[in-house]
Amino acid sequence: MQAPISFRPLARSDFPLLQQWLSASHVDAWWHERLDLAGVEAKYAPRIDGAEPTHVFILQHAGRPVGWIQWYLWSDYPEHALQLNTGPASAGIDLAIGEYDMTGLGLGPAAVREFIRQIVFADARIAAVITDPQEENLRSLRAFEKAGFARTNTVRLVGEDFRRRVVRLDGSLMEDTCQTPTSAW
């Protein structure tokens, strides 16, 4: 039997867990946000309250919180969107598996597929999902590719000293992607 993946909106009661995940070495290697509890509150409370346009969810596997996933309209972040050449009807997505024992098991691709199917593409404004993990973050790139994303180009954002690999999934391809066999998730 497949263990269910589910998503619930981030709550303030999740802040200690989010702080723990952000401080985990396998997450910090890519997120670079070792925040204390006040820092987590300052960054994520406006997202919960709707003051910032990023929608953050806790990723659960069989009811256990194992990470977080978020999405946003690229039009709400025009400077970054321009550097990625995203287009007006596109969304961005970010994912982190905070529990180290859940990494490398195929949860990332399954979570991405389910999240964009259930939540992101449920918004009729969205025609494509585009994201830009660091080029060296091979685990993330593989997860997005297994979820059906295609590499489009490589960019170096203003102010950064590393390159990002831009990947994209068009909504018209989502049905085919959801048909792709997955692991036991």
Give the domain CATH number at 114.
3.40.630.30
Within a domain: 15: yes
**pLDDT attached to residue 172:** 78
Within a domain: 164: yes
Q: What is the mean pLDDT of the chain?
A: 90
pLDDT tens, position by position, 10-53: 999 999 999 999 999 999 888 888 889 999 999 999 999 999 99
Cα 62 to Cα 1, 5, 92, 106, distances in angstroms: 11, 6, 26, 14
The answer to whether residue 123 scores a pLDDT higher than 50 is yes
Task: Provide the domain limits for residue 43.
Answer: 5-179
Distance separating alpha carbons of residues 90 and 130, to the nearest angstrom: 7
Within a domain: 63: yes
Within a domain: 184: no
Of all residues in the chain, the percent with pLDDT exceeding 70 is: 91
Q: Which helix (H) or strand (E) holds 103?
A: none
Within a domain: 44: yes
pLDDT band of 87, cuts 50, 70, 90: confident
The answer to whether residue 180 scores a pLDDT higher than 90 is no
Distance separating alpha carbons of residues 180 and 1, to the nearest angstrom: 18
What is the number of domains present in the chain?
A: 1
Within a domain: 185: no
pLDDT tens, position by position, 63-79: 999 999 999 999 999 99
Q: Please give the model's pTM, rounded to 2 decimal places.
A: 0.89
Within a domain: 105: yes
Within a domain: 67: yes
Spatial strand order of the sheet with 150-155 comes to 5-9, 54-61, 64-73, 90-97, 128-131, 164-170, 150-155
**pLDDT attached to residue 182:** 39
